Structure formats: C-alpha cells, structure tokens
Amino acid sequence: MEQYIEFAGNNPVLSMAWLAIVTMLLVITIKSKLSKIKEINNQQLTLLVNRENGVIVDIRSDSDFKKGHIIGSKQVSIEKITNNELTSLEKEKANPIIVVCAAGMSASKAASNLAKSGFEQVSILKGGFAAWQGANLPVAK
C-alpha cells in the first residue's frame, strides 16, 4: 500500500489519468445498466420479432438498405428520427423496437430519440447489420 501512495505522490499526472479512466468506466457501466435502451444480440432480435411482434428499424442510408437488409425491417433515416417525423412508426409504440445501423455504433442516438418520443421498449442490435450478415442470417434485397 505504501508503494501505491509513493507512486501517486511521484506521478500525479499518471495517477489522475488512471483515476479519470476508472471513473469513466464506472459511469458508463452504471449508465448502461440503468438505461431503458438495451443492447441485444441476433438471437434475441429474432425472438422479439417472432414472439412479441418486434419492429426492426434500419437507420442506414437508402442505398445501403437496398443492397441488403434484415427481412421485415423498416428503413427510417436518422434525420427523420431526430426531427421526430415518425408517422410510419406511430402505431408501433407498444411493440418492441430494435434499431439497426451498419456496425452498432450510431444506433444509440436514434434509440434514445425513439425512447424520448414515447416508444416503450427500444433496443439496439449489438454489432449492427454487420453482425447479422456475419452470422449468415437471412437478408432481403
């Protein structure tokens, strides 16, 4: 224990950086556990769609959507979600909504906007469409 205190005293910048990183990791972990928006995998997506009438919302561009998308998904641009232009999804507010992007990175902003708009169960596909294709699951064109 004395060595840690001595190290912290001799290296205050490194100690503060380490403390900041640990704090950020804790905040991110706690925030993700308490969030309404859950990250789901391919199997959970299939179960939500088949058992609970889940709706897949693909936020990729029109050209990417036309090249290939998850069967039954609806293409809604991120701009429409941000501007709250959700007429195509209004009747789906009680159903689970699964947001899919290209690689699972940009779906969280769209999902949080959907949750703020009154959608009750919003999820994100972990790994996005790339994970779906990587698992050789069916794709429509």
pLDDT in tens, 34-69: 888 899 999 999 999 999 999 999 999 999 999 999
pLDDT exceeding 90 applies to what percent of the chain?
70
Structure-token pair, residue 100: 């899919």
Total-model pTM: 0.79
pLDDT per residue as tens digits for the range 70-80: 999 999 998 99
The larger pLDDT score, comparing residue 14 to residue 1, is at 14
What positions carry a catalytic annotation?
101
Whether residue 33 has pLDDT greater than 90 = no
Percent of the chain residues topping a pLDDT of 70: 100
Mean pLDDT taken over the chain: 92
Average pLDDT over residues 18-37: 90
Answer yes or no: is pLDDT of 120 > 90.
Answer: no
